[in-house]
Copies of this chain bind each other. A is one copy, B any other.
Amino acid sequence: MNDDTAQDSQPWAWPEAEWRRRVQQVRAGRSLRPESWPRGNRCAVALSFDSDHDTNELRDGGRSIGRMSWGQYGNRVGVPRILALLKRSGIPATFFVPAVSALLYPEEQVRVIAEGHEIGLHGWIHELNSVLPAATERELHLRSADALTRVTGVRPVGMRTPSWDFSPATLAIQREMQLVYDSSLMADDDPYELLQDGEPTGIVELPVEWIRDDAVYFNMNRFQALRPYTPPAAVLDIFRREFDRAYEERGLFLLTMHPHVIGYRSRMFILEELIGHMRSRPGVWFATHRDVALHAKAQME
């Protein structure tokens, strides 16, 4: 795999084996959309929150005081608002937390677990896996799992790669760590089994999509003149449409959010109204990613 760069410049000249090899590294295998969801529910909803906080800025070099204050907002304002809403609604969720974030804010993680939610892996300091040597990536994932376990008392069983940057080394590391699931890829709307070089791995993929991610619509770049913004009401409309079809197809609706993005006064209504809408429909199973993955994994047998 070390020769990839040399060959990158003229993909139209690759032999067939080369493009087949690249595509086959990690592929979607059989669908794990279950015949039925637990307790006769017709649809599953898995809400996740990536508690990146200050690590977005630290990952980029940690020089901007302003961006670190924005990160602190996630801990100080975003997570409490989200936890209050989840409690009010009686809904469990999953928080993917970089280890540095967990170490900066251990009480937040303890509270998340105490209130019945799941905490999953999300890298060490929100690093990009695809620019790291495989050994460094492996060491950081292992170290992160230990740190999260130390902070929360619970060993994580799933991973969302930071920035959904799944490297050619990631899947082997996840298998070595005996994780139940990954949630970083997007070959389907519903759960599926990951294949490595064509072979089934037993790892469940809970697919993400930029469509179902709050940051896509709201993030902006500080020193660029261009700072577009999708109207919040349009974002609610998109999320609702994704749910409505998942409900219709008896599938999974998985939504990625961020405390420092959704947690603002002008945005929380999106999540509130979406939850209200979903709870108004009969037969919706709200579950952590772990529980969805375990149910999907049971389809493998």
> Interface on A for B, CB 8 Å cutoff?
4, 8-9, 11-12, 14, 16, 19-20, 22-23, 25-28, 54, 58-66, 68-70, 72-73, 76-77, 100, 103-104, 124-125, 127, 130, 132, 136, 140, 163-168, 170, 184-189, 207, 209-211, 215-217, 219-234, 237-239, 241-242, 244-246, 249, 264-269
Is the Cβ of A61 less than 8 Å from the Cβ of B125? Answer: no
Known: A23-B54, A65-B168, A184-B66. A231 touches B232 (CB 8 A): no
Report chain B residues within 8 Å CB of A70. 186-187
Report chain B residues within 8 Å CB of A77. 187-189
Q: Closest Cβ of chain B: how far from A195's Cβ, in Å?
A: 11
Q: Closest Cβ of chain B: how far from A299's Cβ, in Å?
A: 17
CA distance A220 to B70 in the complex (A): 23
Is the Cβ of A140 less than 8 Å from the Cβ of B238? Answer: no
Is the Cβ of B231 less than 8 Å from the Cβ of A228? Answer: no
One complex includes copies of this chain to the number of 4
Is the Cβ of B76 less than 8 Å from the Cβ of A28? Answer: yes
Q: Closest Cβ of chain B: how far from A2's Cβ, in Å?
A: 12
Q: Closest Cβ of chain B: how far from A151's Cβ, in Å?
A: 13
Q: Closest Cβ of chain B: how far from A67's Cβ, in Å?
A: 9
CA distance A210 to B224 in the complex (A): 13
Is the Cβ of B186 less than 8 Å from the Cβ of A69? Answer: yes
Q: Identify which of B68, B132, B165, B219 contacts A226 (C-beta below 8 A).
A: B219
Report chain B residues within 8 Å CB of A26. 65, 68-69
Is the Cβ of A62 less than 8 Å from the Cβ of B265? Answer: no
Report chain B residues within 8 Å CB of A239. 266
Q: Closest Cβ of chain B: how far from A83's Cβ, in Å?
A: 16
Known: A226-B227, A269-B241. A124 touches B12 (CB 8 A): yes
Q: Closest Cβ of chain B: how far from A264's Cβ, in Å?
A: 6
17 CB-based A-B contacts, threshold 8 Å: A4-B62, A8-B63, A11-B58, A11-B125, A12-B125, A19-B104, A26-B69, A65-B168, A66-B165, A66-B166, A221-B224, A221-B225, A228-B229, A229-B230, A232-B237, A241-B266, A246-B265
Q: Which residue of B lies closest to A231 (CB)?
A: B234
Most chain B Cβ neighbours within 10 Å, of A215, A217, A264: A264
Report chain B residues within 8 Å CB of A186. 66, 69-70, 73
Q: Which residue of B lies closest to A224 (CB)?
A: B226
Q: Closest Cβ of chain B: how far from A204's Cβ, in Å?
A: 14
Is the Cβ of A185 less than 8 Å from the Cβ of B58? Answer: no
* 4 pairs of A and B residues whose beta carbons are closest in the complex: A245-B265, A228-B228, A231-B234, A241-B266
Report chain B residues within 8 Å CB of A228. 226, 228-230
Q: Closest Cβ of chain B: how far from A220's Cβ, in Å?
A: 5
CA distance A16 to B170 in the complex (A): 25
